[in-house]
Amino acid sequence: MTNTLVEQEKRGALGVIRMNRPPVNALGYELRSQIAEAHAAFEADPEIAVTVLTASGRVFSGGADITEFNTGRKHPYLTELIAMLEEGRKPVIAIVNGIAFGGGFELVLGCDYIFALPGAKFSFPEIKLGNIPGAGGTQKLPRLAGGPKALELILTGKAITADDAVTLGIAETVAADEAAALARLEKAVADGLPRRRVRDIVMRGSPDELDAIAEGYLRRSRGAPAEKTALEAVRKAYDTPIDEALAWERDTFQILNATPEARAMRHLFFAEREARKIADLPKDTPQRSVSSVGVVGAGTMGRSIAMCFADAGLPVILVEEAQDRLDAALAAIAKTYEASREKGRISAEEASARMALITGTIALDDLAAVDLAIEAVFESMEVKCSVFTALDKVCKPGAILATNTSTLDVNRIAAATARPEDVIGLHFFSPAHIMKLLEVVRAEKTAPDVIATAMEIGRRLGKHSVLVGVCDGFAGNRMFINFNREAQILIEEGALPWQVDAVMTRWGLAMGPLAVMDLAGLDIGYHIRQARGPQTPYPFTTADRLFEAGRLGQKTGKGWYLYEEGARRGTPDPEVEELIKAVSKEKGITRRAVSDDEILRRCMWQLVNTGYQIVEEGIAQRISDLDVIFVNGYGFPRTRGGPMCFARETGLEQVARDIIRYHAEIGPHWTPSALLLDEAGVSPGSR
């Protein structure tokens, strides 16, 4: 076999193996075999005293080739390759030139000594794929960095720098570049460099602190298996012979890999990458340069949108109608940054640097020079059109004019300007500086370079940009409203709000749909419904009655639930039960016991059926984009992979049959999506 993925070079007594499998030196079968071969050659070469493992460029190794997780692997496995390095006669030194993630980090921990270059970064991101390191990471990192720090790194997936690695005892030193590292190594070899296998280091300290470190992560992971297993693994570093612990770790990795949670998280990993691709937009579509931003409207959204850009280092001009509202907005932003500083999330310098990037004005004319203007005024077509007509006059040619509307027709908003090709929807989610989703709404006339730039803006803000088309509610809200409506219908049929919420939180949502309405305020939905006119055939009658009875949710101490003074968790209220029963009676519905299973299916399949319709209509590009939307914009748990992934896990055929039955038994809002039936291989007439 020709060695094409590694370069071998002899430098005196040093045998250098340089990985070269772009883009990230993923440790697939061929790279593993070629490293093994090169190592064996240096082991056998009498002129070589020490083997050096490194790579060129900005990456050491991004870790496993995760396509192998689904397709199966071939020998030598990574664990076997690492054992080979450890069992050889000669020391192996890693010169870590760039990122060493996951399996790449484990390969490094299989070496005797680690030299870091300034660009080195180390992390175990496995937890983000529902797993733990499986090639020795959980046993060796604790031996170098101590159990508590190792557990923290395994549970967070956070990356550490070259300097951190030295401080934590992981790396010996930071060398300026490869030549400097090799020179230092040559000297060490001349002085007689002894072998020092990380696996042989005796663990110091006790595992007592581990529980306290894991506690918060275990709570937030809500019983997902990877977090619990990470704790168990690091504990083994203290009390289990290493070979036994390594065998356990290897088997456990395989078991976790096959769990629905790991499958779901892998699905999301690929879905989030896929979402960046736009079918009809070539990769080399030019982009417009965006280095200054204006935000019009400094209410709930405008404030947090301004913070998003300041957090990413871009200057923002925030425009309000009146000075007092502008002052209130700037004060609220300052308070939010101050709170982040107090919690230790950002430094005092960062807080003031970010605040300094935001300037306020009440003159729209001040946006004359910005590259991007985002409108976040009231959700009214009239108000938005007048703002766009004004922006068209004020903004320089080539500026991108974006709307943050949640529901309105972006084509109509674009038509209020003489440059509809520059107009696009940038739909942020609340709070915008926290939520990781940006729905990019493409209107009929939006220019390709504006779309490409908008997608990139999301990335610069650390968000997942998902491209959607114009329709009421775009992708996310259109699906979500149908989910909420089904919850209302189930309540009128016989379920109670606390039953519905309990079903959804057991499934994995942080809050059920009724508790969310109480948090947001029942007035919001009520006013939207009023503005839109009668919703037939399924009005939100119960929600409207609650609003009319002054039950607006947490802010009035009662909504779907009753809230004790200052409490964020509500308790069931007999008055609400009476009100619900009265609505059922008024509608001539005989209440019945609704099973938890029916609640879950009907709420989830509404999301799924609507999702397929949205793709069928070309509003979203692909089914997996909808999972990216729900996980990053609506707080759906990553361990479920999103609603569409859940439907696949359940079996699309089963989902399609349920929907056909609901359509016959419940009503036209269950008309099955043709795309769904097609993908499920079910004909519309079958039950």
Of the residues 103, 360, 570, 641, only one is catalytic, namely 103
- Choose the stretch contacting ligand NAD; rule: CB under 6 A; options: 59-67, 168-176, 393-401, 428-436: 428-436
Among the listed residues 350, 379, 409, 523, the single contact to ligand NAD using CB under 6 A = 379
Distance CA 76, CA 33 (A): 6
CB of 489 to ligand NAD, least distance (A): 24
Q: Which of 401, 491 has the CB closer to ligand NAD?
A: 401
Q: Which of 16, 387 has the CB closer to ligand NAD?
A: 387
Q: Which of 131, 406 has the CB closer to ligand NAD?
A: 406
Contact (CB, 8 A) for 199 and 86: yes
Query: What three-state secondary structure class fits 55?
Result: strand
Contact (CB, 8 A) for 66 and 31: no
CB of 402 to ligand NAD, least distance (A): 11
- Choose the stretch contacting ligand NAD; rule: CB under 6 A; options: 28-36, 123-131, 375-383, 588-596: 375-383
**DSSP symbols for 147-195:** HHHHHHHHHH---EEHHHHHHTTS-SEE-SSHHHHHHHHHHHHHT-PPP
Among the listed residues 195, 325, 545, 555, the single contact to ligand NAD using CB under 6 A = 325
CB atoms within 10 A of CB 605: 27
CB of 297 to ligand NAD, least distance (A): 3
Among the listed residues 104, 302, 508, 553, the single contact to ligand NAD using CB under 6 A = 302
**β-bridge mates for residue 558, sequence order:** 553, 562
Total length of the chain = 687
For residue 127, give both structure tokens: 């937890």
Q: To which H or E segment does residue 213 belong? A: helix 210-221
Q: Which of 348, 383 has the CB closer to ligand NAD?
A: 383
588 counts as catalytic: no
CB of 458 to ligand NAD, least distance (A): 14
CB of 434 to ligand NAD, least distance (A): 12
Among the listed residues 84, 295, 296, 680, the single contact to ligand NAD using CB under 6 A = 296
Residue 466 binds to ligand NAD (criterion: CB under 6 A): no
Give the number of residues in contact with ligand NAD, rule: CB under 6 A. 23
- Choose the stretch contacting ligand NAD; rule: CB under 6 A; options: 297-305, 439-447, 501-509, 570-578: 297-305
Which phi and psi (to 5°) does residue 231 adopt?
-65, -45
Of the residues 62, 63, 104, 106, only one is catalytic, namely 106
Residue 107 binds to ligand NAD (criterion: CB under 6 A): no
64 counts as catalytic: yes
Distance CA 456, CA 459 (A): 5
Residue 297 binds to ligand NAD (criterion: CB under 6 A): yes
- Choose the stretch contacting ligand NAD; rule: CB under 6 A; options: 168-176, 400-408, 507-515, 649-657: 400-408
Q: To which H or E segment does residue 102 belong? A: none
Q: Residue 307 corresponds to which amino acid?
A: M
Residue 132 binds to ligand NAD (criterion: CB under 6 A): no
Beta-carbon contacts of 174 under 8 Å, excluding residues fewer than 6 positions away, are 115, 116, 117, 118, 120, 162, 163, 166
The distance between the two most distant Cα atoms of the chain, rounded to a whole number of Å, is 92
Tell me the torsion sign for CA atoms 342, 346, 352, 355.
negative
| Closest residue to bound ligand NAD by CB | 299
- Choose the stretch contacting ligand NAD; rule: CB under 6 A; options: 145-153, 320-328, 341-349, 438-446: 320-328
Q: Which of 183, 383 has the CB closer to ligand NAD?
A: 383
Residue 392 binds to ligand NAD (criterion: CB under 6 A): no
Residue 300 binds to ligand NAD (criterion: CB under 6 A): yes
38 counts as catalytic: no
Spatial strand order of the sheet with 400-403 comes to 358-361, 316-319, 293-296, 372-375, 400-403, 423-428, 437-442, 464-469
Distance CA 321, CA 326 (A): 8
421 counts as catalytic: no
User: What one-character DSSP code corresponds to residue 396?
Assistant: P
Closest CA to 396 of 288, 320, 287, 285: 288
Residue 632 binds to ligand NAD (criterion: CB under 6 A): no
Among the listed residues 242, 317, 357, 376, the single contact to ligand NAD using CB under 6 A = 376
Among the listed residues 319, 358, 437, 604, the single contact to ligand NAD using CB under 6 A = 319
Q: Residue 464 corresponds to which amino acid?
A: H
**First and final C-alpha spacing in the chain:** 56
Residue 387 binds to ligand NAD (criterion: CB under 6 A): yes
Residue 377 binds to ligand NAD (criterion: CB under 6 A): yes
Residue 417 binds to ligand NAD (criterion: CB under 6 A): no
Secondary-structure breakdown of the chain: helix, strand, coil percentages, each rounded to the nearest 5: 55, 10, 35
Residue 615 binds to ligand NAD (criterion: CB under 6 A): no
Distance CA 35, CA 54 (A): 11
Among the listed residues 299, 315, 539, 635, the single contact to ligand NAD using CB under 6 A = 299
Catalytic residues: 64, 103, 106, 126
What residues line the site for ligand NAD (CB under 6 A)? 296-302, 319-321, 325, 376-379, 383, 387, 404-406, 428-430
